[in-house]
Amino acid sequence: MEVRTGEEGIESPLTEVKGVSGGRVLLPCDFDPPISNDSTHLVLFYHGGIGTPIYSVDARSVNVDRASHWAEESLGGRAYMKLDKSQRGLVLEEVQLKDEGDYRCRVDFLESPTRNIRIRLHVVVPPRSLTITTDYAPKSRVSRVAGPFPEGAEITLSCQVLGGHPRPQVTWWHEGSLLDDVSEVKTGQVTRNALSLPPLTRGDLNKTLTCQASNSDLIMPLSQAITIDMIYGPTWVGLETEGRGELRVGEGVARTVTCEAWGARPPAVIQWWLEGETLTHTTQVESGEVSRSTLTLVPEPRHHGLSLTCRASTPGLPHIALASSTKLAVLYKPRVELRVDPLVDLREVEEGEDVTFFCHIDAHPPVTGLQWAHNGVPLMTNGTIGQERLALAGVTRGSSGGYTCAAANSEGARTSNTLTLAVKCG
């Protein structure tokens, strides 16, 4: 006939007790007799309810406070029965996970029925470690700062907790708001909660996210906070002449030109070009997300009409660059050169022949006045011939001498080289 041991039987009231691993816990048991003239004979503590008690106090022939105590060897001296009025019961020190379970305290009295008390001990083991990693290339462990990530990056932050009994709740928070309390991995000693963030925007810079692991309100939760770092390109670049379309500079006058770039992190690096040529006489300062580069330029007439460009890009994001350009308008005095047709030899011209002089002018702004002179005496020219051509028809001996042309603009005037005409006689 099978004998039922009755572990599934009656449910006497249960006291639930929590202890932290390594700490101390009291399994309460009142062993005072229910009536005053009765005495306590025996106190037995069972782990699991039946079998051999792990602790016993034999007070059958003496008073309870002088009774002999016996403890099971496997307890390693960690248990002792507390007899004073304030806290009655079995004290367990250096609590371990294997101590967890149901206990029964049985108190045998002389005259009164036996008292049985059930105690359930929950052992809390704090989690051992918490590690945050990111899946964005490169996959890496995050200690304080995650990133830097570009705008639009879809990142997943993974918080992995090792250990902890009962299994810890791993949660993600942002400034007191719960973001995610579902752990995707819960096997063995590993509990992991992955937080998938929506595509990053600039507003996510320096956002603080905290991962917390907690399995009991008896101990402080394990937690780690990280901040999001981002990298993004400039939103605006501008030369100081923006809007006017051209930069007017005077020939030979050193001029500083500044270019600013805003909204880049880290601050943008600014480069300069004049048409295809890189300019290097620049200095750059940065503050926050603003970069300012100053170029020192000594304009020459040949620079007139060329495009001056400044280009800003963030280191690490070379493909995101903004540029601003302007045309240089260089103001210079006229360069004047008097020429004659190369086939004509001014010393071999005979009387009655035609000679045409050409006054070649390079000036900006365009010349306002042109003056021909013969031997220093200004000549009046009129007619339909362009002023840049002096046509002498039918030269005479009196036409000999030195000819010059002079041109003037807002920057000044200059006289050309002298070409001497020597008309041959007869």
- Nearer CB in complex with another protein: 36/52: 52
> How many whole angstroms from its chain centre is CA 69?
65
Q: Does 35 bind another protein (CB under 8 A)?
A: no
Looking from the CA of 192 toward its CB, the CA atoms found within 13 Å total 15
Is beta strand 236-239 parallel, antiparallel or unpaired with respect to 208-214?
Answer: unpaired
Q: Does 52 bind another protein (CB under 8 A)?
A: yes
When binding is defined by CB under 8 A, the residue of 32, 58, 151, 251 that contacts another protein is 58
Contacts 24+ apart (CB under 8 A), 376-384: 376/402, 376/404
Binders in 289-318 for another protein, by CB under 8 A: none
Binding characters for another protein, 62-81, by CB under 8 A (x = yes): --------x-----------
Residues in the interface with another protein (CB under 8 A) total 26
CA separation for the pair 365, 247 (Å, rounded):
14
Stretches 5-13, 202-210, 229-237, 343-351: which one binds another protein (CB under 8 A)? 5-13
- Nearer CB in complex with another protein: 112/387: 112
Is beta strand 236-239 parallel, antiparallel or unpaired with respect to 190-196?
Answer: unpaired
Length of the chain: 426
Provide, rounded to whole angstroms, the least separation between the CB of residue 69 and another protein: 11
Binders in 185-244 for another protein, by CB under 8 A: none
Q: Does 1 bind another protein (CB under 8 A)?
A: yes
Q: What does the buried/exposed string (b/e) look like for 324-338 if buried means 16 or more CB atoms within 10 Å of the residue's CB? A: bebebbbbbbbebeb
When binding is defined by CB under 8 A, the residue of 50, 182, 253, 391 that contacts another protein is 50
Binders in 108-137 for another protein, by CB under 8 A: 108, 111-114, 116
Instruction: Specify the 3-state DSSP secondary structure of 301.
Output: helix
> How many whole angstroms from its chain centre is CA 380?
74
Binding characters for another protein, 88-107, by CB under 8 A (x = yes): ------------------x-
CA separation for the pair 37, 71 (Å, rounded):
29
Provide, rounded to whole angstroms, the least separation between the CB of residue 121 and another protein: 17
CA separation for the pair 8, 1 (Å, rounded):
18
Q: Does 14 bind another protein (CB under 8 A)?
A: no
Q: Contact positions toward another protein, by CB under 8 A?
A: 1, 3-6, 9-10, 12, 42, 44, 46, 48, 50-53, 56, 58, 70, 106, 108, 111-114, 116
